[in-house]
């Protein structure tokens, strides 16, 4: 898949939230096809709410989400699931389920009710496990794995679904730094090799800037900046979105923006980033 053939995911006049509370209002946003976009912002700014509507988990309160210009609400659920995959923030697996069994569940959108398991299904599952480096864990129970291993298995399940767009809600939560890097390296490799459009909600500012092709920075349910990290992640934007006084300098290793909080300059909890 190339950016020219990757799907276009867009929000048009989007309103979203929960009964009695609108979190997002009149949002217009295009996610670049075939690229890796990170969505960042302080807690409760609307990041996960946006992702849940993009994934059709929740209905919009207004406006539309479009895939290749088509309102996703008009697409049959099976067809939508063949195009868009979601890894939620806290996925759970039944006790005793093995890695191979969990990854195989990613094939459900491609199989009819009475359709038997095929050699093609097996090939897709094997390929997804190979790409995520979990083939050797196939017979292990998911519950017995480390946090980093489990995340790779969940990503393998999403890949077995063969999505053209992959949405992930804070996939590095509760992982130590080495496993965070491992997961983000994996996502970037998948994006580069398969051309999958990847949208990630992330809470760690500097990792988002390092791995993103594009950043979407949200505050109070609206987009305050959208573009290449080096263009949009500025001291003024950090102050506006995170209520944090910080220096933004080039990372000495990657030249991507590096956010350094100014001592005594945090007006809100620093971990809200």
Summarised one tens digit per residue, pLDDT across range 191-232 is: 999 899 999 999 999 999 999 999 999 999 999 999 999 999
Burial of 220 (0-12, 13-18, 19+ CB in 10 A): middle
What is the pLDDT averaged over residues 253-265? 90
pLDDT of amino acid 10: 96
In whole angstroms, how large is the CA radius of gyration of the chain?
19
Q: Is the pLDDT of residue 268 over 50?
A: no
The residue to which tokens 């976009």 are assigned:
37
pTM: 0.90
The 10 Å Cβ neighbour count of residue 143 is 13
The 10 Å Cβ neighbour count of residue 86 is 21
What does pLDDT average to over the chain? 91
Residue 195 φ then ψ, to 5°: 75, 15
Alpha-carbon gap, residue 91 to 255, rounded angstroms: 34
Residue 19 — pLDDT band, cuts 50, 70, 90? confident
- Tell me the CB-side half-sphere exposure of residue 68, using CA atoms within 13 A: 14
**Kind of pairing, strands 9-18 and 21-31?**
antiparallel
Rounded to the nearest 5 percent, the helix, strand and coil shares of the chain are 40, 30, 35
pLDDT of amino acid 4: 47
What is the pLDDT averaged over residues 239-250? 94
pLDDT of amino acid 52: 96
pLDDT of amino acid 115: 74
The 10 Å Cβ neighbour count of residue 74 is 10
pLDDT of amino acid 270: 38
- Residue pair 95/143 in contact by the 8 Å Cβ criterion: yes
Top-level CATH class of 9-272?
alpha beta
What is the pLDDT averaged over residues 30-44? 95
Residue 111 — pLDDT band, cuts 50, 70, 90? confident
């Amino acid at each position: 898949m190339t950016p020219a053939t990757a799907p276009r995911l867009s929000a048009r006049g989007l309103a979203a939230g929960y009964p009695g509370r609108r979190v997002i209002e009149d949002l217009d946003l295009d996610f670049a096809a075939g690229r890796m976009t990170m969505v960042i912002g302080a807690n409760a700014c609307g990041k996960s709410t946006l992702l849940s509507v993009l994934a059709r988990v929740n209905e919009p309160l207004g406006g539309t989400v479009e895939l290749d210009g088509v309102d996703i609400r008009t697409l049959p659920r099976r067809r939508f699931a063949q195009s868009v995959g979601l890894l939620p923030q806290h996925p759970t697996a039944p006790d005793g389920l093995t890695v191979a069994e969990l990854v195989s569940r990613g094939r459900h959108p491609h199989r009819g009710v009475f359709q038997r398991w095929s050699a093609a299904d097996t090939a897709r599952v094997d390929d997804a496990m190979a790409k995520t480096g979990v083939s050797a864990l196939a017979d292990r129970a998911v519950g017995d794995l480390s946090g980093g291993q489990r995340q790779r298995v969940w990503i393998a399940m999403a890949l077995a679904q063969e999505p053209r767009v992959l949405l992930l809600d804070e996939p590095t939560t509760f992982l130590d730094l080495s496993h965070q890097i491992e997961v983000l390296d994996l996502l970037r490799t998948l994006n580069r090799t398969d051309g999958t459009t990847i949208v990630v909600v992330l809470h760690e500012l500097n990792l988002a800037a390092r791995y993103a092709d594009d950043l979407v920075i949200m505050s109070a349910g609206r987009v305050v900046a959208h573009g290449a990290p080096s263009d949009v992640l500025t001291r003024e934007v950090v102050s506006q979105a995170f209520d944090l006084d910080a220096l933004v300098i080039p990372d000495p290793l990657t030249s991507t923006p590096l956010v350094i909080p100014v001592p005594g300059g945090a007006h809100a909890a620093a971990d809200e980033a």
